[in-house]
Copies of this chain bind each other. A is one copy, B any other.
């Protein structure tokens, strides 16, 4: 294993310290671990907080800043953070506008964020959890933990962060987050495996001439293992899986402020269709040169144009990664005026910046 790290137990701490040194606009706490904006926010503003296992940088810590997240809780590598992290982070961040946790759909993240939300709501800090589950590689939600949360997370954090900055209250932020999630679909692929520092060896074995289609952001197995092929064919596979994904319904849990407990809500994602306009993300998995991502974007653009689907906005780069995995993912989020307005709003974070 060749990585630019020091002692394995210090990996996350030192990365956070590096971020702090480079970006005076953020603040970090090490016990428990979280990253928050250095300057206080307006009273009454909803605190938008995300988090999850580390190894997906710049997500989430790199998205803390004006117009996006208020704070992020990094767990150990590929391991959900713990409820005390979110709890302390939320207490230090919230400013009487309540807290919105943006949670990727992994069993560990769901449970840890739920416990934190329960603790905060019990103390009278209104807290809502919205789940992101956009990975079409997982088809079946009845017999699995459901679709994983992947690329849509980046786009959702940007949009909901901007809405909170613009004055949306907790309910409106939650509604917008739910809407963006219902309009997002992603699919990824891996050329190589990633190596978790503590493990020191690849998460999975893959031959020099094989690739994994439908892989998750922790190297979870995908839909199929095939022979390595061209960027165009790979992009076609990912894009087709997204565009041909049918209407998709699942039950997700949210906090009910009236019942003071969790309630189950059905959420349906409508299949994409010709005429839709999209925010597109062509994402690198951590060790993919940006030049190769542009090759993927070229084909994505061609396929969508042929189907009369407009890529109204785009992001090409490594935003939600899997350590040093080589590969890419494609995300499309069906936009509307509200979504585009908040996408275009200014953002100033270590990982995403425009308009300011």
Per-position contact with B for A281-325: 1 when CB-CB < 8 Å, else 0? Answer: 010001111111111111001100000000100101010010110
Where chain A touches its partner, the secondary structure class is mixed
Stretch from A54-62, A120-128, A332-340 contacting the other chain:
A54-62
A144 at the interface (CB under 8 A from B): no
**This chain's copy number in the assembly:** 2
Q: How far is the CB of A242 from chain B (nearest CB, A)?
A: 17
- Classify chain A's interface size: 35 or more
Q: Does the CB pair A324–B287 fall under 8 Å?
A: yes
A171 at the interface (CB under 8 A from B): no
Residues of B within 8 A of A231 (CB): 3-6, 14
Q: Does the CB pair A22–B208 fall under 8 Å?
A: no
A246 at the interface (CB under 8 A from B): no
Q: How far is the CB of A23 from chain B (nearest CB, A)?
A: 8
Q: Does the CB pair A19–B294 fall under 8 Å?
A: yes
Stretch from A78-86, A105-113, A348-356 contacting the other chain:
A348-356
State which residues 28-76 of A face B: CB under 8 Å: 54-55, 57-58, 62
Q: Which listed residue (B230, B287, B289, B291) contacts A6, Cβ 8 A?
A: B230
Q: Which listed residue (B191, B314, B323, B353) contacts A4, Cβ 8 A?
A: B191
> What are 29 of the A-B contact pairs (CB < 8 Å)?
A4-B231, A4-B234, A4-B293, A4-B296, A5-B292, A5-B295, A15-B292, A15-B295, A18-B294, A18-B295, A18-B297, A18-B298, A18-B301, A19-B294, A21-B297, A21-B311, A22-B294, A22-B301, A55-B291, A57-B290, A286-B289, A287-B288, A289-B323, A289-B324, A290-B318, A291-B323, A324-B326, A354-B354, A354-B356
Known: A7-B230, A21-B298, A353-B354. 10 other contacts (CB 8 A): A2-B208, A2-B211, A5-B230, A6-B295, A18-B294, A22-B294, A22-B301, A54-B291, A287-B289, A289-B321
* The 9 A-B residue pairs with the shortest CB-CB distance in the complex, in nearest-first order: A18-B294, A18-B298, A287-B287, A4-B292, A21-B301, A57-B291, A2-B191, A4-B231, A18-B297
